[in-house]
Amino acid sequence: MTAAEKYNWEPLCKREDLVAGSGVCALLGGEQVALFYLPDEEPAIYALGNRDPIGGANVLSRGIVGDIGGELVVASPLYKQHFSLRSGACLEDEAIKVEVYSVRLDGDSVLIAR
């Protein structure tokens, strides 16, 4: 059994809702999930909690994505700290971490693990 099959995958939104090279936000129950779609990467989709713990607002999906030393990151639009798309860790302050969600693309659907 692969790691992917262990989870209960649930549809979150459609592929066409995503914006290539950037982020959007989806609601999962009461939680805000920032989804980043990077078609040239493997995997092509990443999900973090939308709340910027430093700025204290729900804005991470509106940050610029890129890489720092090869690590995929999003920069918060408020005060520009970088958060790893894979681990959720804040590059500027190792004590701070945001939620990471497992997501994958299945045809036209974006699935999230619960």
Partner 1 sequence: MDSTKTQRRIVVVGNGMVGHHFVASLVEAATGDHITVIGEEPRPAYDRVHLSDVFAGRSAEDLAMATRETYQGWGVDAHFGDPAIAIEREAKVVVTELGRRFAYDKLVLATGSYPFVPPVPGADNDRCLTYRTIDDLGAIKAKARHSKVGVVVGGGLLGLECANALKNLGLQTHVVEFAPGLMGVQIDEGGSRMLRRKIEALEVQVHTSKNTSRIVAGTDTALSMEFADETSLATDMIVFSAGIRPRDDLARKAELGVGERGGIVIDYKCKTSDADIFAIGECALFGGRIYGLVAPGYRMAEAVASQLAQREGSFQGADMSTKLKLLGVDVGSIGDAHGRSEGSMSFVFSDEREDCYKRLVTSGDGKQLLGAVLVGDCEDYDTLLQYYLNGIELPADPQGLILPASSGQPLLGVSALPATATICSCHNVTKGDVIGAIDGGCCSLVEVKGETSASTGCGGCSAMLKSLVEDELGARGVTVDKSLCEHFPYTRQELYHLARIGEVKSFTELLAAHGKGRGCDICKPTVASIMASLWNEHILAPAHVGLQDTNDTFMANMQKDGTYSVVPRIAGGEITPEKLLVLGKVAQDYGLYTKITGGQRIDLFGARLEQLPAIWAELVAAGFETGHAYGKSLRTIKSCVGSSWCRYGVQDSVGMAIRLENRYKGLRSPHKLKSAVSGCTRECAEAQSKDFGVIATEHGWNLYICGNGGMKPRHADLFATDLDDDTLISYIDRFLMFYIRTADRLQRTSVWMDNLEGGIEYLRQVIIEDSLGIAAELEAQMALVVDTYQCEWKATLEDPAKLKRFRQFVNSEEPDNGVVFVQERQQIRPARAEERLRLVAVAK
The yes or no reply on residue 86 touching partner 1 (CB under 8 A) is: no
The yes or no reply on residue 69 touching partner 1 (CB under 8 A) is: yes
The yes or no reply on residue 75 touching partner 1 (CB under 8 A) is: yes
The yes or no reply on residue 113 touching partner 1 (CB under 8 A) is: no
Cα 14 to the chain's mean position, in Å?
A: 15
Query: Residue 67 CB: number of other CB atoms within 10 A?
Result: 13
3-state secondary structure at position 19:
coil
Residues 73, 64: Cα–Cα separation, whole Å: 8
Residues 103, 34: Cα–Cα separation, whole Å: 11
Q: Please choose, from the candidates 25, 48, 31, 24, the residue with its C-alpha nearest in 3D space to the C-alpha of residue 101.
A: 48
Min dist. Cβ of residue 25 to partner 1 (A): 6
The yes or no reply on residue 56 touching partner 1 (CB under 8 A) is: yes
CA angle 36, 88, 105 (to 5 degrees): 35
For partner 1, how many residues bind (rule: CB under 8 A)?
39
Min dist. Cβ of residue 30 to partner 1 (A): 8
Min dist. Cβ of residue 29 to partner 1 (A): 11
- The contact set with partner 1 (CB under 8 A) reads 12-14, 17-22, 24-27, 30, 32, 35, 38, 51, 55-59, 62-70, 72-73, 75, 77-78, 80, 82
